[in-house]
Amino acid sequence: MFLQGKRALITGSTSGIGLAIARGLHAEGAQVVLSGFGDEATIAALTAELSAIHVPGDLSQREGVEALMAAAGPIDILVNNAGAQFVAPVEEFPVEKWDFIIALNLTAAFHTARLAVPHMKQAGWGRIINIASAHSLTASPFKSAYVSAKHGLAGLTKTLALELATFGTTANCISPGYVWTPLVENQIPDTMKTRNMTREEVIRDVMLVRQPTKRFVQPEDIAAMAVFLCREEASNFNGSNVSMDGGWTAE
């Protein structure tokens, strides 16, 4: 329980990777602040399970992030995880989707960081963990906004690492390949239809085609890395981009 007395905010923690990280940090004694969308019953169950508070709000809006940070109070561990994807050729990419994806995946992390950093500096201890993607290191066609936002998030992480290095505070990103979450599972039926493929073909020939292990990363694997990055032994991980992609970006 090495995180007792620490307060952790995980954005987008009502499902998938964010929820797994919230569970991992809670298991080590951190006081958890949840954010993200979900029905009332789900959120009530999660706040009870994790003895957590939940702050609603749309983090693609600056006001939503500012309200979250005001309600969350001083944060020792900031996990920027909320994110969304949209796929279209660049000349057809809806401008409002571009704005939304950059706002949620990148700008929200700037706002949470700028508001969390004063407490971390004052306390002389902090952890910022940004959930980027293999797409922070490499590109895929039709994902212009997502790839740009995730490359930007990796750059923001490095800048924070340099600014905070002498304040006992680290900033790193974790860059997963395909992770088995509701986000990914829900894409399967549509992809089956549009590509006229079976479920197995979608998984093998679309999703895992670039993931050398041919296996999904599990949300709990990402959570274990996030917990490790909070340890004292990890205090020299600073400005790192930790790939957890089964070897995708090693190519």
* Smallest gap from residue 61 Cβ to ligand NAD (A): 8
In the structure encoding, which two tokens stand for residue 210, read together? 């670039």
Catalytic site residue from 98, 146, 178, 237:
146
Return the range that interacts with ligand NAD (CB under 6 A); candidates 77-85, 112-120, 195-203, 227-235: 77-85
Query: Taking CB under 6 A as the rule, does residue 238 contact ligand NAD?
Result: no
Query: Taking CB under 6 A as the rule, does residue 184 contact ligand NAD?
Result: yes
* Smallest gap from residue 125 Cβ to ligand NAD (A): 25
In this structure, the strands spanning 7-10 and 169-176 are unpaired
- The partner residues of 242 in beta bridges, in order of sequence, read 174
- The partner residues of 217 in beta bridges, in order of sequence, read 179
Segment (H or E) for 33: strand 31-35
Alpha helices in the chain (DSSP H): 16-27, 40-49, 62-72, 95-102, 108-123, 144-164, 182-185, 187-195, 199-201, 219-229
d(CA 99, CA 92): 14
* Smallest gap from residue 105 Cβ to ligand NAD (A): 6
| Residue 68 or 117 having the CB closest to ligand NAD | 68
Do the Cβ atoms of 36 and 25 come closer than 8 Å? no
> How many residues sit in the footprint of ligand NAD (CB under 6 A)?
27
Query: Taking CB under 6 A as the rule, does residue 115 contact ligand NAD?
Result: no
d(CA 182, CA 42): 14
Binds ligand NAD by CB under 6 A, chosen from 3, 8, 17, 78 = 17
Return the range that interacts with ligand NAD (CB under 6 A); candidates 10-18, 45-53, 70-78, 231-239: 10-18
d(CA 208, CA 202): 8
Binds ligand NAD by CB under 6 A, chosen from 33, 55, 82, 137 = 82
Query: Taking CB under 6 A as the rule, does residue 246 contact ligand NAD?
Result: no
* Smallest gap from residue 145 Cβ to ligand NAD (A): 11
178 is catalytic: no
Do the Cβ atoms of 107 and 85 come closer than 8 Å? no
Query: Taking CB under 6 A as the rule, does residue 109 contact ligand NAD?
Result: no
Q: Which 8-state DSSP code applies to residue 218?
A: P
Which residues are CB-neighbours of 162 under 8 A, at least 6 positions away? 239
List interacting residues with ligand NAD (CB under 6 A): 12-18, 35-37, 58-60, 81-84, 104, 131, 133, 176, 178-179, 181-184
Q: Among all residues, which ones are annotated catalytic?
A: 146
